[in-house]
Amino acid sequence: MFNDPNDGSRLVPYPSGALVPERDLGKTPILEVRHLGIDFGGLTAVDDFSLTIGRTEIAGLIGPNGAGKTTVFNLLTNVYQPTRGDILLDGYSTAGKTTAQVNRMGIARTFQNIRLFDKMSVIDNVKVGLNSSTKESFLACMTHLFGYRKAEKLAQEEAMRLLDFMHMTDVAYDEAGSLPYGAQRRLEIVRALATKPGILLLDEPAAGMNPSETAELMENIRKIRDTFQIAVMLIEHDMNLVMGICEGICVLNYGKVIAKGAPEDIKSNPVVIEAYLGKKKEA
Amino acid sequence: MSQKAIKLLGGSRPVDKNSAITVSIVVALFAVIEVLKGTGHISNLLSGLLVPICMYITLAVSLNLVVGILGELSLGHAGFMCVGAYASALFSLVTKEAIPMTWLRFLLAFLIGGAVAAVFGLLIGIPVLRLKGDYLAIVTLAFGEIIKNLVTILHLGVDKHGLHFSTESVAALRLAEDGRILIKGALGITGVPKSSTFEIGFVIVMITLLVSLNLVRSAKGRAIMAIRDNRIAAESVGINITTYKLFVFSLSAFFAGLAGVLYSHNLATLTANTNNFGYNMSISILLLVVLGGVGSIRGSVIAAIILTALPELLRGLSDYRMLIYSILLIVIMLFNASPKLVALRERVSPKNLIKRKKAQKEVQANV
């Protein structure tokens, strides 16, 4: 189940001490988060969150309910502006950018509660993802001239390729809202991939899936990483999935990082076990 | 890639057909009316309605861009029409002698009316589009009223010293002897050339229709509908919401301005009141959009034609006219929105009948 240590997935430290997979060592990390924190009124939701993710790393973010995992995703995509700390995406700070700008800089995400464009067709959902790379001016869109046809054809081909990648071409012209649950989750991933991200954030991608669907999802996540050579960071409660595909895992509790490391280390870490299961009663 | 996918890649998309049908309906109706006009089979009553029908189609389609495609409720559409009407009327009045060619003057009037309305749309859109839902509706309603009321008190004259403004009276303009009054407050603008014809109205309808239909089937159109369906997800895929909202709002205002130009060049005297530029008008346009189906451009066209012609055609009923009209509105609304009637309509629609027959044949073939 664990990653093969010979494919370069073994975690090794950067000079800064942050752990990344061996094969990503020589490159700038795709994401570098330093002492990130946010307060809502008097409540500190996330505090001193630091994390480094390698170029092609599959990273997991786990923790009990309410630990602040989704808040971290919202901070990374600037849905919330952080109170403290820095986020460096491919070496560039995302401070002060809008969510849309951060996406164009290279972070794409899915949502815990699926957020598709329900009334649009499946392929149109993907084309919306392609939007920022489609070269269609407002004038071209209104007249269907000035390079409209060429751009539309490219978008159509690209969208079909992406759908094919996740085996969704059969439902390309169905309404997105009418898809079964698992397919909706897959479509969200395709739409996120369409924005050509450097890192893909998946918020509970296996929620509500049965074991065989989860196994397929794990395959897909690996395939995405291998094909597009991007990093994937996922929030997940399904420990089989997390331990099966993640190279580095970060455990969050009460908004603070309580452990970081390879799956084997996390599994046997007493602090993590305590956070999930509670303290052992003294006999 | 699967066989089916390859077929879909090359094949035409169902949406294309839809737009073609809408455009064909409008062109066919135009042709029929032109023939009837040519053979003298059209009553005075109906021929007087032709330009207003074109105007209402333009207004309904353009409001549908905001309400149906962008998904924001605007109740100030008549305000933009008012701006377009006054700007173009003023232009035509001033340049009546300077530009003798009617077609050129009218073309410029359309461009000016549309552009000024679009600028107003942009200016109002910047603060207003931060709001959502009911709040946006109320604020746009207020803006529409402000525009109408400002126009009502506006006095404008010109003499050798230049332009004179006043919000009080004609006398307050203090014009020189040779001065000429352009806008007389509540009495409005007189002497605008009556250049609007059904043919020009048709051209305006076609422009509005084609641009709107094209936009919906394009990258930007998809982005706009994405904002409507899920704002947060749209942001997460890199769509700059403010840009798109402002674009749709000012495009819609531009077309409303064009409708205003048609309106102002179809009257001897242009004045602003509740029924033509106030909230009554805004609600009437919204009614067309809602009855035609929010988001359905073809629906807006059909609703505009029927509901504009209806009150006039019912004129024979005299006192009962508005009663019958209201009942018809309720019936159309039920027909469009009642779940059971919608289901019934879908069952008997020719498209579905063909589909069902095909499916039956397939089942039989498989057995």
| pTM as predicted | 0.86
Rounded Cα gap, residues A136 and B234, in angstroms:
18
Contact criterion met (CB < 8 Å) for A79 and B214:
no
| Residue, of A283 and B33, whose pLDDT is higher | B33
Contact criterion met (CB < 8 Å) for A148 and B225:
no
Rounded Cα gap, residues A113 and B38, in angstroms:
61
According to the model, what pLDDT value does residue B187 have?
A: 82
Best of A73, A142, A174 to disrupt the B interface by mutation (most B CBs within 10 Å)? A142
Q: Flag whether pLDDT at B5 surpasses 50.
A: no
- Secondary structure class of B265 (helix, strand, coil): coil
Rounded Cα gap, residues B46 and B32, in angstroms:
13
What proportion of chain B, given as a percentage, has pLDDT over 70? 95
Q: Flag whether pLDDT at B10 surpasses 70.
A: no
According to the model, what pLDDT value does residue A139 have?
A: 84
Q: Tell me if chain B has a CB within 8 Å of the CB of A146.
A: no
Domain ranges of chain B: 3-278
Beta strands in B185-328 (DSSP E): 189-190, 269-270
Q: Which residues of B touch A173 (CB under 8 A)?
A: 8, 13-14
Rounded Cα gap, residues B120 and B257, in angstroms:
10
For chain A, residues with pLDDT lower than 50 are 1
Window 209-248 of B, Cβ < 8 Å to A: 211, 214-215, 217-223, 225-226, 229-230, 232-241, 247
| Residue, of B302 and B332, whose pLDDT is higher | B302
Q: Flag whether pLDDT at B12 surpasses 50.
A: no
Interface contacts (A, B; CB < 8 Å): 128
Q: Flag whether pLDDT at B115 surpasses 90.
A: yes
According to the model, what pLDDT value does residue B9 have?
A: 42
**Residue of chain B with shortest Cα separation from A114:** B233
Contact criterion met (CB < 8 Å) for A127 and B222:
yes
Contact criterion met (CB < 8 Å) for A77 and B219:
no
CB neighbours (10 Å) of residue B346? 10
According to the model, what pLDDT value does residue A4 have?
A: 61
Rounded Cα gap, residues B79 and B89, in angstroms:
15
CA distances from A101 to A73, A111, A214, B92, B238 (A): 15, 18, 32, 45, 6
Start-to-end C-alpha separation, chain B:
30
Chain A nearest CA to B216, separation (Å): 8
- With cut-offs at 50, 70 and 90, classify the pLDDT of residue B63: very high
Supply the mean pLDDT for chain B.
84
Window 94-123 of A, Cβ < 8 Å to B: 98-101, 103-104, 108-109, 111, 115-120
According to the model, what pLDDT value does residue A1 have?
A: 47
Chain A nearest CA to B136, separation (Å): 22
Q: Which residues of B touch A77 (CB under 8 A)?
A: 236
β-sheet bridge partners, residue A107 = A199
Contact criterion met (CB < 8 Å) for A138 and B5:
no
Which of A141, A170, A191 faces B219 most closely, judged by CB atoms? A141
According to the model, what pLDDT value does residue B11 have?
A: 37
pLDDT one-digit tens code per residue, B143-195: 989 988 888 888 888 877 777 777 777 777 777 777 778 888 778 888 788 88
Q: Flag whether pLDDT at B4 surpasses 70.
A: no
Contact criterion met (CB < 8 Å) for A142 and B211:
yes
Q: Which residues of B347-361 are buried (b: 16+ CB within 10 A; e: fewer)?
A: eeeeeeeeeeeeeee
**Residue of chain A with shortest Cα separation from B251:** A142
According to the model, what pLDDT value does residue B61 have?
A: 94
Which of B14, B220, B235 faces A136 most closely, judged by CB atoms? B220
Q: What is the token pair recorded at B93?
A: 């009045």
What proportion of chain B, given as a percentage, has pLDDT over 90? 26
Which of A108, A118, A136 faces B219 most closely, judged by CB atoms? A136
Contact criterion met (CB < 8 Å) for A142 and B215:
yes
Q: Flag whether pLDDT at B102 surpasses 90.
A: no
Supply the mean pLDDT for chain A.
86
Listed in sequence order, the residues at least 6 apart from A245 whose beta carbon sits closer than 8 Å to its beta carbon are: A3, A58, A218, A221, A222
**Residue of chain B with shortest Cα separation from A113:** B233
